[in-house]
């Protein structure tokens, strides 16, 4: 057999290896939170979109939830305003909200365009469409009013299920409405987590700028590849992990306690991290599992 | 019978009068082009949204197509750029297009919010979603390149039909993509006209800032209430009507020749002009009819 | 704005006002018991049919249950027999039953015809069709055999649900069959009440010859506009209301206790009383509500 | 094998013999016109109902169309009026029509009752229900106005197809409405023939008081067992058959030319003539066949 | 009436008699275990197939489960091997299993052919298709390994329900697979019993070479026609019945305790024993009933 | 990036490359003829099954048609008979047919087992099931009777479409029935070709023991990678290709002329030749294309 052929056979083997994984998640919903650096680098962005499109084509039902943090800041500055944060939350007055929504929709439709370009039917929705995301005002950790920042109180899952039913790949931007139909900005991680629960997702994957969860944040070799719910709770209580990581881990634990089978914290800067995590034995980032399960 | 009761009976009579019309258009699609002043005045806007929501609830299948002209100009200026027009078309470079898309999406999601507030399920889509509006570059009348201004070559009607099937009221903003997946601005009238044809709408209604078509534009008393296709063509050929009206009338004629039963040019500044036109004997604006039909 | 226009705008406002109500009862079943004077006066009859047809067209699922009392007596006399009543129940021997059924079917098909004339698909059924109404013999209050007078023991709701599913407006005449397949006359109020329970109607409306329930029957100004279940039971126990009203009120209470949200006792002599009750703030007659609800 | 057993085996053989026929007409529509003596004799009536019910249970989709001739005359007399005929058509003034409709509905609901008693879901409809039978006024052969006697101009087949779809056995009484929604009496043979065409029936069976078609009406031994369309036309043109038979045969020919596969003229006085014709080799009455077919 | 006609009328009466039974089991699943002599005699085989086909055509949903005992032995001998049994179980090494499977599939497809010839849509499946029958290894009563003899641990009922849904008559041969996907032979009685439970059959009928259950096996006049579950258990405990009958009766009892309404042990040597049992008053063999029921 | 990671990224790239192809054939039917050496080597067999299972899981609708040539000969010899061929057709007397069918079913159920083991729902059918393959007797090229060798005259495609609809992977063995319901052996290539036409397959792939079509059979370097219908016809007429290849090529041409988009002649001895052909740019074997298309 010539070398050329051997190369092709290797390719076939890779596809065959993927079989088991394709089977396991057939027709299951996977919510992908997409944000951070992975959204800024054009090459990485293309890879993420290809990965999600692949998931769709081999039978998964992916839903993308995206943020727009840095882009929003850029446009807020452009408009001559000063981005302002209290307790890590963007202070969002009416004018800022108007810009934030415009930017988020721009990002949203751009992702739609990229998925469509790969031949898959996408639709971009915000939390306004079909009343998808209903919120209350969220105060900062120290109880301060930071404007139109929302806390999700209800996800109208049927909107997404209906769109999946019509074979769309839904792409959600984290904008919500309160009982008086005012517009609110929502943290994209929170939106992804709430949506995953509401649609009974099989998997929830966070693509972010970190490699995963570290036992000791200072020691990059202490990356944890898998963590049961109990272990995650211990880690939180132990005080070993840094502040920013705590709500993220709590969301992960909450998702699993609400029926999501597995949550992944992936390093969005690694090309095709989603495919690698799902279709190969290479564990990427940190997986949060049900108690009693092993990777 | 006391006076109070008489008043209520009058109300009942109005509802009963509406019966015939409700019946006639049951489950029929009506495309409503919504733009101009009617979009700027908050009170008028509320009325239009109420009217369309009413149509939905009594069994029609409305689709809103909206523009955003003046709002776009405002934001373009805000960004320190000069709105520029050639042959009546907005010159749309990449940066202008970026702003235009952001503004159109903002307008779009605001309309979604207003419809949702009235308890009806809305969804906002642009021509990118599901590849709804595919375009080629459009040159100005004098053959000049005006940038990302698109000419619709294909409407993927199934996107809208699937959304109607799931009981959404679709609200469309006129943004399209070309074969290389670049983003284009589209004239909202053109979008409405193309969509009405593609979804086999029963009615197409343009809500604009004019009372209708005049036999003699200078003579406001020469408003035409109804016009068959033949009469419209004659009017165009006669040179009696002004330049801006010509493409609008041609679109109307084209829509009817492609299966739309009736097109209405309504004065969006009259509150509830849609309801009045459809549910009462009061003709508002100008109706373009099939040959042989009378109002 | 000219006066003519103002008048049309007023009409539009009436339609808009109806929006909220149309929405609230969309796809809900409403059972309308139709009898008494409202059936004898041709003009009133047309109004009732228009009202019910309107309900159908704006998205309700109405079912009409009608009686035929006075008409039956007329034909019984015509046949040379003497109408006879014991304890308020018509004594119904085989010959009377034969005539009663013929008259009820005549009335039934006439209502079908009137609805069809308004362009809505109607179908007339008796309790025999699909075995809709199964009865036992009913004795009079004093325990006397009054012949073929039936007490409903089972409603085969699926017959009506299947017809609604095929978009018919079912019109039911109160004839039933016992276990030996003999034909029985049924009180139309009882039939309406049993059907409303069986099909899980949202509303049950009795159109009769009375204005509603009076606190003191002699004092026409003591009409009660709304009554919770508890208040109705109190009224019954207090002995304040007259004999004939008691079983009617008990049926109303029973309907609500079995899942119907609201029961209305309406004065069928007021034109469009149904529309007025449902689509305007004008309360007509007496509404029986769940405890804790207010009108 | 004992004699008792032999008897049972014979029974099994009969069932097995029926297999071929059951198969051939599985899910096919058969329209049964039921009238004449077979309706007056209680025993015969039970047999006919059993036969049709059997057809339903083994997979056919039967539709019964019935008349009520003698019963109508009886009640017309009872009401002190004189039945009057012109050219063989009942002169039907408004009062007669009222009685005729009442009687036909009585007969209709009685048939429903009988089918229900055998455990099959029946529904009785007239030509008013769903606008099933639309008519024009029919003049007598000599051009005289005979009142409310209708000529079918449209059958809304969907009404019957929807009822079949919901597994009802429809029983139709021949009452129709004209464009002004007046009520008309229709000849039951005409109704059966028009319905068979409209619903694309596989078979149309007339149960009447004659043995079938005779080559020579005076010679009872000249009964024709099968007749192609061509042969039937010849017979009509030859003048050999009597006047009353001509329109019947023309209807039969018309039915076959409009898609019905086979028409049977059966002697309703023979018990179970329908089952015998369909499930055994015993030909009963006269079959009208397509050209080129043999029995 | 001539004698010929009388004979036909008798036939019609038989069909009419069958009505009640056809009705009672409409759309119900009946599992027919078919084996023993009834499979060897060509005439009996035709009768059984006709009976089951008849059940299908009149609205039942039959499933055939067949064995192939004697045929397997014949082919094992033909291949020069010696059929060997331990504790009544065929010792099934890999080679024997290969032959057994081939024979069973041959028998299976032959039954398919016979049903198809009668115009009914059949499909032959083994326990491998869709993973229908999953087994563990079964040891003999005395604990010996008899090779590839399987004990059913799971029936994937959906396979059969999906085939019934597509209007196939499924014919099952008792071959199963274990967790390592080895092929196993299964006792056909066990397969029938397990399948009846899994698909919630209304009836389970064993066609075998015995007349039924005897109170005293030596006394052929002691055949029991009906037996409740309690009576069957008593009989087993009393020691009155012979060894081979015990597991069969236990299976019958188990089936009823798991939702099957009635089990029949029929003498497959009586022609049309299935039809006779189901469609006539002639009880054939032994019926096992729920407690409290009487035949 | 470490080497380990690079390796994983390469894997991800392979998956991404497959995207385009997965998309193109989504929900399309592909008929795979599987025979020859690829069926004898256990390793190759596993690979073929994995490939087809992969196709199923990523959204294709594969149908396997298999042969059993060499296995049949083995068993015929085992039974002490001499395999005999006339004009290349196996002489198939009744006894040979019996063995052939048993062997084909054995092979069939073994393939079912292998697919099931990979977690995909398979069902094995012969041409008897649902009357899938109806045949006439086929004479040899020289007009000789070779026994039960069939020529397909009708494929009941609905059987396969119904099974696909229920998400089965159908595996077909080439056994058919004639009008008298005798059993026939069918050439597997013919069966695959006829089935591909009948189900409107997108692709038809022959896995055989040859590398593909050669321009000059003696010169192994003259393998043709793609051939339009016109080129194939030319090749046949030119006499350049060997006799055995002619009917195969004619079948390929016929398939394309009947709606199949592309036919592949693949070398079944190359592992994963199906995946390589479909999911990579490596062309394997010979593709027969529509005129005007290029690979």
pLDDT digits (tens, 9 = 90+) for E7-48: 777 888 888 888 778 878 888 999 999 987 777 788 889 999
Residue A294 confidence (pLDDT) = 62
B185 is in an annotated binding site: yes
Cβ contact, residue pair D276, E11, below 8 Å:
yes
Burial track D37-52 (b if 16+ CB lie within 10 A, e otherwise): ebbeeeebbebbbbbb
3-class DSSP state of A213: strand
Q: Residue B177, class by beta-carbon neighbours within 10 Å (0-12 exposed, 13-18 middle, 19+ buried)?
A: buried
| Gap from E48 CA to chain F (nearest CA, Å) | 18
- Chain B contact present for A54, CB below 8 A: no
Grade residue F247 by pLDDT with cuts at 50, 70 and 90.
confident
| Gap from B143 CA to chain A (nearest CA, Å) | 28
pLDDT value at D177 more than 90 = yes
- Which residue from D minimizes the CA distance to C110? D128
Whats the size of chain F, residue-wise?
Answer: 295
Q: What number is the average pLDDT over the span E91-96?
A: 92
| Gap from F42 CA to chain A (nearest CA, Å) | 17
- Only one residue has tokens 């705008």, namely C9
Q: Measure CB to CB from residue D19 to each of E4, E16, E50 and give the nearest one.
A: E50
E156 is in an annotated binding site: no
- Chain A contact present for F57, CB below 8 A: yes
Taking the C-alpha atoms of residue B94 and residue A195, their distance in angstroms, rounded to an integer, is 34
Residue E21 confidence (pLDDT) = 83
F contacts of A13 (beta carbons < 8 Å): 272
DSSP assignment of E66-106, as one string? E--HHHHHHHHHHTTPPP-EETTEEPB-HHHHHHHHHHHHH
3-class DSSP state of F25: coil
Q: F272 vs B136, which has greater pLDDT?
A: B136
Residue B214 confidence (pLDDT) = 84
Sequence-ordered list of residues with C-beta below 8 angstroms from that of C263, at least 6 positions apart, any chain: C203, C204, C205, C206, C252, C255, C256, C287, C288
Q: What number is the average pLDDT over the span D268-273?
A: 87
- Which residue from D minimizes the CA distance to E7? D282
Structure tokens at F41: 């080597």
Spatial contact of F207 and F32, defined as CB atoms under 8 Å apart: yes
Taking the C-alpha atoms of residue A53 and residue A192, their distance in angstroms, rounded to an integer, is 18
Taking the C-alpha atoms of residue D71 and residue A149, their distance in angstroms, rounded to an integer, is 79
Residue E209 confidence (pLDDT) = 83
Q: What is the CATH number of the domain that holds F29?
A: 3.40.1160.10
Residue D160 confidence (pLDDT) = 98
The residue among C1, C2, C15, C27 with the most chain B CBs within 10 A of its CB, best to mutate, is C15
Sequence-ordered list of residues with C-beta below 8 angstroms from that of A151, at least 6 positions apart, any chain: A135, A136, A137, A138, A186, A190
Taking the C-alpha atoms of residue D76 and residue D67, their distance in angstroms, rounded to an integer, is 15
Q: Residue F133, class by beta-carbon neighbours within 10 Å (0-12 exposed, 13-18 middle, 19+ buried)?
A: buried
Quick count: other Cβ atoms within 10 Å of Cβ E26? Answer: 14
Residue E43 confidence (pLDDT) = 87
| Gap from C5 CA to chain D (nearest CA, Å) | 35
Q: What number is the average pLDDT over the span E158-166?
A: 97
Residue C123 confidence (pLDDT) = 98
Ramachandran assignment for B133, one of left (phi > 0), alpha (psi -120 to 50 degrees), beta (any other)? beta
Q: In chain F, how many domains are there? A: 1
pLDDT digits (tens, 9 = 90+) for D121-151: 999 999 999 999 999 999 988 989 999 999 9
The strand pairing partners of F145, in sequence order, are F139
Spans of chain A, pLDDT less than 70: 1-2, 69, 243, 294-295
Cβ contact, residue pair A276, F8, below 8 Å:
yes
Cβ contact, residue pair D11, E276, below 8 Å:
yes
Spatial contact of C205 and C192, defined as CB atoms under 8 Å apart: no
Average model confidence (pLDDT) across chain F: 89
Burial track E142-168 (b if 16+ CB lie within 10 A, e otherwise): eeeebbbbbbbeebbebbbbbbbebeb
The interface predicted TM-score (ipTM) is 0.92
Nearest to C60 by CA among C295, C278, C285: C278
B vs D contact (3+ beta-carbon pairs below 8 A): no
Q: What is the DSSP code (8-state) at residue A220? A: G
Ramachandran assignment for D225, one of left (phi > 0), alpha (psi -120 to 50 degrees), beta (any other)? alpha
Q: What number is the average pLDDT over the span C218-239?
A: 87
Cβ contact, residue pair E102, F106, below 8 Å:
yes
Q: Measure CB to CB from residue A129 to each of B123, B165, B181 and give the nearest one.
A: B123
- Chain B contact present for C22, CB below 8 A: yes
The strand pairing partners of C124, in sequence order, are C171
Strands A89-90 and A85-86: antiparallel
Spatial contact of F152 and F191, defined as CB atoms under 8 Å apart: yes
Nearest to E144 by CA among E99, E88, E101: E88
Confirm whether F13 is domain-assigned: no
Q: B258 vs C282, which has greater pLDDT?
A: B258
- Chain C contact present for B282, CB below 8 A: yes
Taking the C-alpha atoms of residue A99 and residue A81, their distance in angstroms, rounded to an integer, is 10
- Chain C contact present for D165, CB below 8 A: yes
Sequence-ordered list of residues with C-beta below 8 angstroms from that of D76, at least 6 positions apart, any chain: D82, D83, D96, D99, D100
Of the CA atoms within 13 Å of residue A247, those in its CB half-sphere come to 8
pLDDT value at D88 more than 90 = no
Structure tokens at F275: 């995946």
Confirm whether E245 is domain-assigned: yes
Confirm whether E9 is domain-assigned: no
- Chain C contact present for B119, CB below 8 A: yes
pLDDT value at D180 more than 70 = yes
Structure tokens at D233: 């036309």
pLDDT digits (tens, 9 = 90+) for F174-193: 999 999 999 999 999 999 99
Q: Measure CB to CB from residue A113 to each of B112, B162, B181 and give the nearest one.
A: B181
The residue among B72, B79, B105, B159 with the most chain A CBs within 10 A of its CB, best to mutate, is B105
Q: Measure CB to CB from residue B57 to each of C4, C14, C58 and give the nearest one.
A: C58
- Chain F contact present for E64, CB below 8 A: no
- Which residue from C minimizes the CA distance to B15? C15
- Chain D contact present for C39, CB below 8 A: no
Cβ contact, residue pair F131, E116, below 8 Å:
yes
Nearest to D52 by CA among D29, D23, D36: D29
Average model confidence (pLDDT) across chain D: 89
Grade residue D10 by pLDDT with cuts at 50, 70 and 90.
confident
Cβ contact, residue pair A113, B166, below 8 Å:
no
Structure tokens at F65: 């048609």
In the B/C pair of chains, how many CB contacts fall below 8 A?
Answer: 103
Residue C230 confidence (pLDDT) = 93
Nearest to C105 by CA among D126, F240, E180: D126
pLDDT digits (tens, 9 = 90+) for C173-215: 999 999 999 999 999 999 999 999 999 999 999 998 888 888 8
Residue D173 confidence (pLDDT) = 96
E contacts of F177 (beta carbons < 8 Å): 113, 116
- Chains contacting E (3+ CB pairs below 8 angstroms): D, F
- Chain C contact present for B39, CB below 8 A: no
pLDDT digits (tens, 9 = 90+) for D183-194: 999 999 999 999
Q: C241 vs B2, which has greater pLDDT?
A: C241
pLDDT value at D1 more than 70 = no
Q: Measure CB to CB from residue E18 to each of D5, D15, D280 and give the nearest one.
A: D15
D contacts of C98 (beta carbons < 8 Å): 106
Taking the C-alpha atoms of residue C232 and residue C213, their distance in angstroms, rounded to an integer, is 10
pLDDT digits (tens, 9 = 90+) for C147-182: 999 999 999 999 999 999 999 999 999 999 999 999
Confirm whether E6 is domain-assigned: no
Cα B252-B258-B264 angle, rounded to 5 deg: 30
- Chain A contact present for B163, CB below 8 A: yes
Of the CA atoms within 13 Å of residue F282, those in its CB half-sphere come to 24
Helical H runs in chain C? 3-24, 37-40, 42-57, 69-78, 94-117, 157-165, 188-198, 229-238, 245-257, 273-279
- Chain A contact present for F26, CB below 8 A: yes
- Chain E contact present for D276, CB below 8 A: yes
Q: What is the DSSP code (8-state) at residue C86? A: E
Q: Which of A141-150, C216-225, D84-93, E19-28 has the highest mean pLDDT?
A: A141-150
Residues of the domain holding E208: 18-289
DSSP assignment of E41-67, as one string? SHHHHHHHHHHHHHHHHTT-EEEEEE-
- Chain D contact present for C65, CB below 8 A: no
C contacts of D181 (beta carbons < 8 Å): 113-114, 116-117
Q: Measure CB to CB from residue A54 to each of F9, F19, F270 and give the nearest one.
A: F19
pLDDT digits (tens, 9 = 90+) for B193-233: 999 999 999 999 999 888 888 887 777 788 898 999 999 99
Binding residues of A for substrate, by number, are: 68-69, 90, 185
Confirm whether A163 is domain-assigned: yes
E vs F contact (3+ beta-carbon pairs below 8 A): yes
D contacts of E50 (beta carbons < 8 Å): 16, 19
Nearest to C214 by CA among C240, C186, C181, C182: C240
Confirm whether C5 is domain-assigned: no
E contacts of F128 (beta carbons < 8 Å): 109, 112-113, 116, 124
Question: Per mean pLDDT, which range of A153-167, D127-141, E80-94, F140-154 is the poorest?
Answer: E80-94
| Gap from A12 CA to chain F (nearest CA, Å) | 6
Residue E294 confidence (pLDDT) = 63
**Which DSSP helix (H) or strand (E) runs through E145?**
strand E145-155
pLDDT digits (tens, 9 = 90+) for C2-48: 677 787 778 888 888 887 788 788 889 999 999 877 777 888 899 99
**Which DSSP helix (H) or strand (E) runs through F205?**
strand F203-208
- Which residue from A minimizes the CA distance to B129? A123
Confirm whether E49 is domain-assigned: yes
- Which residue from E minimizes the CA distance to D58? E58
C69 is in an annotated binding site: yes
Q: Which of A69-83, B169-183, D73-87, F214-228 has the highest mean pLDDT?
A: B169-183
Confirm whether C7 is domain-assigned: no
Q: Measure CB to CB from residue A272 to each of F12, F50, F118 and give the nearest one.
A: F12
């Amino acid at each position: 057999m010539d070398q050329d052929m051997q190369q092709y056979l290797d390719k076939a083997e890779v596809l065959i290896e993927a079989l088991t994984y394709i089977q396991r998640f057939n027709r299951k919903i996977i919510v992908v939170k997409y944000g951070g650096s992975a959204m800024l680098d054009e090459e990485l962005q293309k890879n993420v979109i290809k990965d999600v499109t692949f998931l769709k084509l081999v039978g998964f039902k992916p839903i993308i939830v995206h943020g727009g943090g840095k882009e929003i800041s850029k446009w807020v500055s452009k408009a001559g305003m000063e981005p302002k944060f209290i307790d890590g939350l963007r202070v969002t007055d009416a004018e800022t909200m108007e810009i934030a929504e415009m930017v988020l929709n721009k990002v949203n439709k751009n992702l739609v365009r990229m998925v469509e370009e790969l031949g898959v039917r996408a639709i971009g929705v915000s939390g306004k469409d079909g009343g998808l995301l209903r919120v209350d005002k969220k105060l900062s950790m120290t109880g301060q009013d930071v404007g139109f920042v929302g806390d999700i109180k209800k996800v109208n899952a049927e909107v997404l299920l209906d769109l999946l039913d019509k074979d769309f790949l839904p792409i959600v931007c984290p904008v919500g409405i309160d009982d008086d139909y005012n517009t609110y900005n929502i943290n994209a991680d929170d939106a992804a987590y709430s949506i995953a629960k509401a649609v009974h997702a099989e998997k929830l994957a966070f693509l972010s700028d970190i490699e995963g969860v570290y036992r000791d944040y200072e020691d990059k070799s202490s990356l944890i590849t898998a963590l049961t719910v109990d272990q995650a709770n211990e880690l939180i209580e132990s005080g070993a992990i840094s502040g920013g990581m705590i709500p993220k881990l709590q969301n992960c634990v909450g998702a699993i306690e609400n029926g999501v089978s597995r949550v992944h914290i992936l390093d969005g800067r690694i090309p095709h991290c989603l495919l690698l995590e799902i279709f190969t034995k290479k564990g990427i980032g940190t997986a949060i599992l049900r108690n009693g399960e092993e990777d």
